[in-house]
């Protein structure tokens, strides 16, 4: 299957700082990527849809100023958690749809565990 790389895998930061998470499609171009958030032992909750060259689409209840998404190229989307607080601690996962695949088939990155102290 297609490879989606996510970095970093783990980050610890102080409250009030910003953290950037990168999601790359390694062997294909992705016009659309998705960002999910997952709490321990819970399901994946879609946060936003990242669209190359245009603004991201956020799900209801997700603060766009808090979670900044940039999709500047066909292989890279970034999620920046601004002014992070302990309640932002979570597992963040990106996914992308590979070309030539059915439009629903998603490939996921390895996730980023964010811990805000």
Write out the residues near another protein by the rule CB under 8 A.
1, 4, 6, 34, 41-44, 46, 49, 57, 93, 95, 97, 102-111, 113
Q: Which is nearer to another protein, 73 or 101 (CB)?
A: 101
CB 3, min distance to another protein, A: 11
Cα angle: 16, vertex 21, 25; to 5 degrees: 170
CB 50, min distance to another protein, A: 12
Residue 2 DSSP class? -
Q: Which is nearer to another protein, 82 or 108 (CB)?
A: 108
Residue of 32, 37, 6, 36 whose CA lies nearest to 21: 6
Residues 5, 21 contacting (CB under 8 angstroms): no
């Amino acid at each position: 299957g297609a490879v989606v790389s996510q970095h970093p895998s783990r980050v610890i930061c102080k409250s009030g700082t910003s953290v950037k998470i990168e999601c790359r499609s390694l062997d294909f171009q992705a016009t659309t990527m998705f960002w999910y958030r997952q709490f321990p032992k819970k399901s994946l909750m879609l946060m936003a849809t990242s669209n190359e060259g245009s603004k991201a689409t956020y799900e209801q209840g997700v603060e766009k100023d808090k979670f900044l998404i940039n999709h500047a190229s066909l292989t890279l989307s970034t999620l920046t958690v601004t002014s992070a607080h302990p309640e932002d601690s979570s597992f963040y996962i990106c996914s992308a749809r590979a070309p030539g695949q059915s439009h629903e088939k998603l490939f996921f990155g390895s996730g980023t565990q964010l811990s805000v102290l």
